[in-house]
Structure 1
Amino acid sequence: MIDPSPSAARDAVARAVDRGDMVTVFGRCTVEYDGRAASTLGPGDRLVVLKPDGTTLVHTDEGHQPVNWQPPGSTHEVDIADDELRIESHRTGPEEHLEVTFESITYVTTVDVSDPEELSLSGTEEDLRERVLAEPALVEPGFEPLATERSTPAGAIDIYGEDADGRAVVVELKRRRVGPDAVGQLDRYVGALTRDLHADREVRGVLVAPSATDRARELLAEKGLEFVALDPTPEK
């Protein structure tokens, strides 16, 4: 995208982060960091890179090292503030927050960086959805799908259902290896559905994907969420 509006850039970046794409944004921006120390960069032309593993890099026109960065395991968020694109990266343990605000945007790129062989094996999320609906026991024995694309204030749940004990289950589907962002998305859906249902109704969250990073598995355990390894298409 060349010279996109702030809203167009926000939508493109948000979709790319949700898919697990590599994102680059170049433009005139300010940078604020708060964590182990605090720093501020005034307006300047900079390149921001968001990686699927949660890494954020802010580069200027000098040197090979970023002037600001966040490590793998951070979560990316994007929004509009005062008609400017704002990208935020948050890390816990220790608490660190990086905020980049673009007053002008030269370009946005999003790239699927998965290995082509892995993609040919993993198929699409629709393939994964159809596989789970056809054989719900792949999630777990006794799982019963009740709805797809169930609406919540946090977004649409891929598959909503109940387990063998009658507990509500939120199933989030991803067609490839997942990182911390997918865990955060599932956690938001579980929280939104918990608020929608009766207070005494337990809601479980299950992330279904071919594989997960170590950091994603750590976050799943921390948040009381679950993971099922499943390819969109069975191996032949």
Structure 2
Amino acid sequence: MKYKVLESPDNESSYEIVEEALRKKATIIIYACCKVIYEGRALSQLNWGERIILIKPDGSFLIHQEKKVDPVNWQPPKSRTRTFLKDDNLFLESHRRTPKEMLNVEIKKVHFINYALVEDYEELEIAGYEKDMGDMIMKKPHMIEEGFKPTVREYSTEHGFIDILGKDKDNNLMVIELKCRKAGVSAVKQLKRYLSDFEDENNELLNDTNCNKKDIRGLLVAPSIGEDAKELIEEEGIEFVAVNPPNELKSDKKVTLDFF
């Protein structure tokens, strides 16, 4: 059986369902009146109330209230869940080994419980991140300027990873920082730190690039730039290029009317 559902079960039946689901490594959903105590890096208590409890096969344990997106209490993957009955109430415990944490849920009344052997092997695809911008620029370098030649992605320096290194048509080194959203002052400062890694003409980083040592250009690439950041790049001699991130997914899978 891939799933099992019980509405308004007693606590003993709910205990059997949870035990069975844990053995099968199934996803468990419980709607119940419960009390929650957390012990770990802090100590917290959530008194009696009706909540949704979600237990996943990877060990994740989440408790949701009727409002807000985030769980009010949770344990991460690799936590271990156990269940038992005591004084006619159903108990769920989620243990995390490192750091040592425990989430204890005491259930007075289960309104609904089910489990399912969920099959989902797909990874979420999201378009519009800096990586997508980098992929796009590597394929169409003229988006930066005519004659631009990208040479290296994710170039490691003392201050982090430069998104793209390249050369302009005059063989000057170009240090490019990508932002998929409106660029702020912090992005300008980050690019300035990258440029400081090339200030010494004898620096191995500069020698690795085989570019002109005289002129090094810093380019901040983003859809738009804030006023404060705009003032700062003018002070620092940094250039700004407006580029929008791609808004299409890379998946080759297309849904047609035949699918329905």
TM (normalized to structure 1)?
Answer: 0.48
Q: Which entry has the higher C-alpha Rg, 1 or 2?
A: 2
TM (normalized to structure 2)?
Answer: 0.44
